[in-house]
Amino acid sequence: MAERIWHKAPGRMAVALLLVATVAVAGCSKKSERVYFNGNYYPSKARAADKADRKRFTVSVRRADQGRAGAREAGRYGGKQYCLKNFGTSEIAWTVGPDAPDAVLARQSGRLTFSGTCVLW
């Protein structure tokens, strides 16, 4: 019985090593695709504000305490990426956008949140 398990172990180990190598390579490629604003990386996430109307979206930008100007540009970039990916356009009608005054921006624990609507032709 022990011999059967031993013979299967090298195959399982090879699969495990291949999986670990794939994850490591995938992690490296994502880091190389990062976009920096004013020399800093601002992770952002854009999502539909309403499932019924995906044109409306919000963008949350983390690490905004690194610099407000860079965080604003990261939000603008995140919104354009969302609209391009989902609708093929980068035109946005911002509700609360990157050019809004500081007093209007939603700030929460180092994050800035923007909202807008993708403009379709």
Give tens-digit pLDDT for 3-14.
Answer: 555 455 555 655
21 and 65 share a domain?
Answer: no
47 and 29 share a domain?
Answer: no
d(CA 85, CA 94): 17
40 and 27 share a domain?
Answer: no
Would you place residue 16 in the very low, low, confident or very high pLDDT band (cuts 50, 70, 90)? low
113 and 59 share a domain?
Answer: yes
Q: What is the pLDDT of residues 39-80, one digit of tens each?
A: 999 999 999 998 899 999 999 999 999 999 999 999 999 999
d(CA 53, CA 63): 29
Would you place residue 24 in the very low, low, confident or very high pLDDT band (cuts 50, 70, 90)? very low
Instruction: Give the structural domain span for 21.
Output: 1-33
For the cut 60, the answer to whether the pLDDT of residue 2 exceeds it is: no
DSSP E strand boundaries for the chain: 36-37, 40-41, 44-50, 53-61, 92-96, 106-108, 111-118
Q: What percent of the chain has pLDDT over 90?
A: 60
28 and 48 share a domain?
Answer: no
Q: Give the per-residue pLDDT at 108.
A: 81
Q: Give the per-residue pLDDT at 107.
A: 78
For the segment 21-25, the average pLDDT, to the nearest whole number, is: 47
64 and 112 share a domain?
Answer: yes
Yes or no: say if 84 and 57 are a contact pair by the CB < 8 Å rule.
no
Domain count across the chain: 2
CA distances, 21 to each of 8, 9, 13, 18, 29 (Å):
20, 18, 12, 5, 12
